[in-house]
Amino acid sequence: MKRIGVFTSGGDAPGMNACIRAIVRTAVYYGLEVYGIRRGYNGMIKGDIFKMESITVSNIIQKGGTLLKSARSKEFLTKEGRQAAYEQLRAHGIEGLVAIGGDGTFTGANIFYEEYGIPTIGAPGTIDNDLYGTDYTIGYDTAVNTALDAIDKIRDTADSHERVFFVEVMGRDSGYIAIPCAIGGGAEIVMIPETDTSIDFVIEQLKAGWSRSKTSFIVIVAEGDEEGSATEIAAKVSQQIPNMDARVTILGHVQRGGAPTAADRMLASQLGIACVEGLMAGRTNEMAGIINRELVYTPFIETITKQKLINPNFTKMVDILSV
């Protein structure tokens, strides 16, 4: 393999630039040509492809977002779109791909290989940390710390005004962001998709806290919780406790931006190197990840289909520490 392409796809995550940097410089180190593909599969279809050198990725390791831009592509979901993408890669002489993204990105890469035989190695780039095959995904640590910084500030206001704050964090269908935010932020209650936390339970916990002379509460809500959004949950609780002074804060996309933490820069760099070396070793349709501090490669089909479970001890920690 002499020429590879790299692209980012789906939601952006802090550390993607660090990963791009590692991929480009690893390719240069091993004497490979590397081409950047802007705007994910959309750019692949349109031929928005350019040659990258070591200098191209200078001074980006500390920056959030992605130098290559990102997009979700409806056109790539069609046979015609994938055919156009293949023709563009062939025109540029690209023999293998490194995809930085999540399960949607890897699903597309898996289908693309089956149809056209373009090998791809993936780097897990998503703040949600919901990909099977790695303990941590690129951007997750930064997102948690960003959310935790905001929760610390909200705690000050909650305490000053003796209020209940319902704070919604991102995570799609996963509670991986919510759990460390609840533990690290001293929240009294956490609501995540992986566990059934009813409105009645929330009310019981609030009343139990008031009986112990607690005057302020933080309820962390993962955006995919079965009871609804933080706004909906706060409304349901307020209906049964009308005198409760409640506020809702939705942290939203602030969690996706910002300079990556040291942990995310290290992870992104390690996985970027592993992706290029994986392609060189003949691997395909696999995601590079870290499990128990060891580098592993997991087939895309497992990453896409297998669920990454949350350690139940973490939810128990919230219960213990909130008394």
Instruction: Mark the binding-site residues for ATP, compressed into ranges.
Output: 11, 72-73, 102-105
Asked whether 200 and 207 are in contact (CB, 8 A), the reply is no
Asked whether 10 and 104 are in contact (CB, 8 A), the reply is yes
State the Cα–Cα distance between residues 278 and 122, nearest whole angstrom.
10
Which residue do the tokens 């994910």 mark? 40
Q: Give the other-Cβ count within 10 Å of 150's Cβ.
A: 18
- Provide the annotated binding site for substrate: 126-128, 163, 170-172, 223, 247, 253-256
Which residue do the tokens 């349901």 mark? 236
Catalytic residue chosen out of the listed positions 128, 130, 225, 264 = 128
H or E stretch at 206: helix 199-211
Cα 202 versus chain centre, distance: 28
- Provide the annotated binding site for ADP: 21-25, 155, 186-188, 212, 214-216
Query: Among 106, 135, 126, 41, which Cα is nearest to 300's?
Result: 106
- Provide the annotated binding site: 11, 21-25, 72-73, 102-105, 126-128, 155, 163, 170-172, 186-188, 212, 214-216, 223, 247, 253-256
> What are the DSSP calls for 80-135, one per residue?
HHHHHHHHHHHHTT--EEEEEE-HHHHHHHHHHHHHH---EEEEEB-TT---TT-S
Sequence-separated contacts (24+) of 282-285 with Cβ below 8 Å:
282/119, 283/119, 283/121, 284/96, 284/113, 284/119, 284/120, 284/121, 285/109, 285/110, 285/113, 285/119, 285/120
Asked whether 129 and 176 are in contact (CB, 8 A), the reply is yes
Q: Give the other-Cβ count within 10 Å of 224's Cβ.
A: 20
- Provide the annotated binding site for Mg(2+): 103
In the three-class reduction of DSSP (H, G, I as helix; E, B as strand; rest coil), residue 66 is classed as coil
- Catalytic-residue membership of 264: no
Residues identified as active-site: 128
